[in-house]
A and B are shown apart, each in its own frame.
Chain A
């Protein structure tokens, strides 16, 4: 059995607690939160040992691995403490707010041969994983344009009392929503070498952004556009969409449906013209279901990699570091004064 502790009993922490505890190879050995009331209720009703101090949990609970689901600004110090103790770490996204720290921690984990994961669960969604497979097979040729979008109803009025409304704590739609489609772009196209036209804009929030727009250029020659708004009541829940245009076709996907247009015969199952596949066909069964197969699949991937000593993973610290770097580029671009013309021209002429 792998002994797992979970820190941070918010929406994601509770969800992880449920999924990890249901895993047949996991012994849920400790939970930690700063809200003593919530912690006491959970302790009383689940029988899991509770800790109000993270350090105490790491010292006493004899953990093999820890799941970190605290506000984003706390990820870096908590991850470091866990790695120093030789624990495998699953951290919620975004990984670290400072990409230099992300790199350092990814290197530290690698040096210590520890299994790492960041909760970019969209890489475990059947449709989005299928895009990766199709791109690797060259199905749409060279990707020239990518559109990455996320919309949903999170901040619909002027208020907000949690860390998510505080920029310094890693709140806002950039870190919370845009991070997901950007992480998919990183998976499909690599790291951008340039970003421009970034606008991080509030709709209702007073301290942070509720929508994100921006343009990214990739080494491959592809141009990406990110468009995110979490003040969209027309969506029932978060809706993430990816559209890729290539020299040999086009792919569009959300978490339910994959629509592929190919100009010539593609890999097995993909004909010339349109092919539509659904999540029912593309999703692998999971042992326990809560909110979506992808959450269980990412937990299972982490536990299985620990059991089998595989440090390489699709959502490892290294993979997440690329997304932290992309996020930092967007922030820097949004905060910079008018960009120098020369730099832009140089890129265009590249």
Chain B
């Protein structure tokens, strides 16, 4: 993995500080050209991995990159699935089973499974999971996706419930079908590492908030630092600026001083900011 990964929150109106700012960003990036232009800047500044949700609009980005292989020879994507709000809103309207049925290419398989009853459960679950993964991966066809992530809402939901086999199912499918490494995004790193251990996922890629403030680091800063120190996993730090609550230089100096962090994922809306972050990180790494 590259040391710096480019994130996509800024493109989709996600801002953990201000709804007004989020809306302004959604307006600014409503044309795909505006998104592509920032991605071009990132690429040209040497940040060539785009870690992105499987939001419908990403399909326009991937289509563009697919059509211009000579412009983006080193472009890599780290898809993060699913785009959770799509499911959450569908669940409010249709319930959990209805929501899953809505996003399956063929809802019939679920109906057949439900008619089949309990004895089919394991096979069905795997079948449905892999179909859902394939549906989300369609937009990345023919592109480089060396790491594929499960989003934190799903990871943490399963983690809390103790539905741990799903992590192994996800990992297995991502490895065999896409020859990619599975990654897990979480807000609960110490607890997740125990769970991944239990299902035999060795040295997993785990992406989580790691920042000086301890913002959204459940298990506490101490728990995270101990995990970084002692546990075998490949850590990606996100939210290193704690949504802007920490000054960039201070945030980067701190994060680069922590042990065993393999990559940082960050978002930016201008070439100057991308270059500044890259240069700041270069001072330490």
Contacts and interface: CB of A to CB of B under 8 A. Distances in A.
A44 B160 CA distance: 15
Interface in A121-171: 152-155, 159-162, 164-165
A264 to B, nearest CB: 26
Given A11-B88, A11-B96, A237-B88, A289 B188 contact: yes
Interface string A52-66: 000000000000000
23 contacts: A10-B96, A15-B157, A18-B158, A18-B159, A22-B160, A36-B118, A37-B121, A40-B117, A40-B118, A46-B162, A47-B162, A153-B89, A160-B94, A161-B93, A161-B98, A162-B95, A256-B16, A256-B18, A280-B213, A280-B245, A288-B160, A289-B188, A293-B216
Interface string A250-279: 000010110000000000000000000011
B195 to A, nearest CB: 11
Nearest to B17: A278
Contact of A41 (B125, B191, B214): B125
B213 A10 contact: no
B70 interface: no
A42 B161 contact: yes
A236 B160 contact: no
Interface of A: 9-11, 14-15, 17-19, 21-22, 35-38, 40-42, 44-48, 152-155, 159-162, 164-165, 176, 236-237, 239, 254, 256-257, 278-281, 285-291, 293, 296
In this complex, which of B89, B121, B160, B214 has the most chain A Cβ atoms within 10 angstroms of its Cβ?
A: B160
B9 to A, nearest CB: 11
Chain B binding surface, main DSSP class: helix
Contacts of A47: 162
Interface in B57-105: 85, 88-89, 91-98
A36 B235 CA distance: 39
A45 B163 CA distance: 5
B121 A44 contact: yes
Contact of A162 (B94, B118, B191): B94
B156 A18 contact: yes
B243 A280 contact: yes
B245 A281 contact: yes
